[in-house]
Chain A
Amino acid sequence: MTLLRNILIRLLTTLVTLIGVAVIVFVVIRVVPGNPIAMMLPPGATEADIARLQTQYGFDKSIFEQFVIWLGGVMQGDFGTSISLRQPVAGLVLGRLPATLELSIFALSIAIVIGGTMALLGTRYRDTKTEGAVDISAGMALSIPDFLWGLVLILLFGVLWPVFHISGRISPALNIDFNTNFYFFEALVRLRFDVLADLIGHMFMPALALAIPLAAIIAQLLKQSLKETMHLDYVTLARTKGYGENHVITREALPNAILPTLTLVGVQFTFLIGGTVIIERLFSYEGLGNMAIDAVINRDLPLIQGIVILFALLFTIVNLVVDMLYVVLNPRLRHA
């Protein structure tokens, strides 16, 4: 009963969040200077032409009226038509979503592996030079933003030692006839290892650039809570039972120490998704973020709205997943 109530409350707050986001975006992009119609027409268009298009796209109405019309469409799954691409927004946005999702999840996995390993090493060899090395590299990784890491990586693995592709999502020469835009997952399912290798070759650098700052955060926080947990009585008790350091860290301390890190990773993962906007541009990766920048440059209001709503939806889903994981990992919350 309480579970059902919690889910309902959750759905309701999600809905309120999304509407709030929609209102803000809707108003802001209409208030800032720049006329979408002016961007569409060639120089020398007449006042009458402009007025005709204004009416066609409904920009002559008040912002409130426009919002009501747009919301009415959204209720029926119609997010409007892109001005610059002249296609339905929903189709465009959903077509790009898989690329960004795959990049973000790949980046998250890299961050967890690198950050987790650093945290475990730093704890295993605490108070030694190894821990110092972990601290210093985490500090360095954090003090440089993701897009700068992107440039550094391009220089290293694209120019000086060109082992990875520096742009795009997949080599055009590759013959794929996939049913979905989830290339990575579909290649995995179909065991198309040539496609998989090509995708990773494209994804590795942007994903690593996104992952490095997050890995540093994971390394620092997880190491800190592991070290605190190592002093607790149940860890000491496990030692007296004859367990060695590695077992004590991974089996006794880690399941408890991971909880605060999990919360933070949830928050940081939404930042990482935000970071894809710039990183995708940098690596010409055909994802949502890249599309978002084009949409803003073209003042493509319906497309901007669609992309922002989708990002907002992604963030709320990530938060929901983190909350659920928290309950799974923490038995004290299970009955509450």
Chain B
Amino acid sequence: MSGYLIIRNLTVRLRSGPVILRSVSLNVAAGQVHGLVGESGAGKSMIGKAVLGTLPRALQITGGEIWLDGVDLLSLSAAERRRRIGATAALIPQDPLTALNPSKRIGPQITRRLIDILGWTKQAAEARALELLDEVQIPNAARVMRSYPHELSGGMRQRILIASAFAAEPKLIIADEPTTALDVTVQKQILRLIAQMQARHGTALLFVTHDLGVVSKVCDTLSVLYAGKVVEEARMQRFFMRPIHSYSRALLSATPSYEDPLGSLTPVSDTVIEEVEAEVRWHDARAGT
């Protein structure tokens, strides 16, 4: 296995016992986009949080490895892990309305980490922020830098968060449902922007979403998650041509296609759910939980 982010047999549980992620393995190659799809509650966001070290306190990692840039994050001390993540990875959050600090101006929210964590000078950091705001097509970047979040629209804020994520040239970006909270009209633009930025900067991207349509547009590879278990991992084309797992097939036929948006959709059938539930139970039995 080679890749910039390698997750092996990652198991996450609630401290009270129940399993959230069941021995998840996945691989994001350098410069590639890996989609992580599943219905809500499947644990897809938890994978991102586990990598970034922002799991809720009620959850804990009970097994597995997370290799980022050749280092097993879980073998580091908490402080070392934090610095490592801060220097090599970044997050594009789900809701741009809550992800910017309401009492701080935009400028410092982009530049502070460059100055504090990476030791840039103030001038260099500000120049970099301006450059990135231009890159994400924000008009009047200098004025926006002095604005407070509440003065900007949701789409603008998401652009700012994208610019901020790319500011330190991370090797890995985790985008956690980055378009879910936006207007449908803005969604497309933001999606295109993320894809452009990823291609230009050559960043590895872990794209968490429940929308297979979105995945088909931006991803190279993908993992399908059900109840905290990866049921299928595939390259994009193969997945859409010949999905192997019956749950993947059911998911695909439940997704409206862009070519024929009014075509008939099939809900995921009970038989498929039973099948995949049985698989999860079998996994749990084998893992002795």
Contact = CB atoms under 8 A, between A and B. Distances in A.
Given A234-B101, A243-B117, A256-B102, A127 B91 contact: no
Contacts of A255: 101, 103-104
B98 A242 contact: no
B86 A241 contact: yes
Interface residues of A, number: 21
B89 A234 contact: no
Contacts, number: 67
Interface string B215-255: 00000000000000000000000000000000000000000
A331 B148 contact: yes
Interface string A93-120: 0000000000000000000000000000
B102 A237 contact: no
B177 to A, nearest CB: 12
Q: How large is the interface on B (under 10, 10 to 19, 20 to 34, 35 or more residues)?
A: 20 to 34
A239 B90 CA distance: 10
B85 A233 contact: no
B135 interface: no
B117 A241 contact: yes
Majority secondary structure of chain A interface residues (helix, strand, loop or mixed): helix
Nearest to A335: B151
B102 A252 contact: no
A234 B54 CA distance: 12
A242 B103 contact: no
B174 to A, nearest CB: 8
Contacts of A87: none
Interface in B80-123: 82-83, 85-87, 89-91, 93-95, 98-104, 113, 116-117
B99 A243 contact: no
A242 B260 CA distance: 45
B91 A329 contact: no
Given A233-B93, A240-B89, 14 more contacts: A127-B57, A233-B94, A233-B95, A233-B98, A234-B100, A237-B91, A239-B53, A241-B113, A241-B117, A242-B117, A243-B82, A243-B117, A330-B103, A332-B150
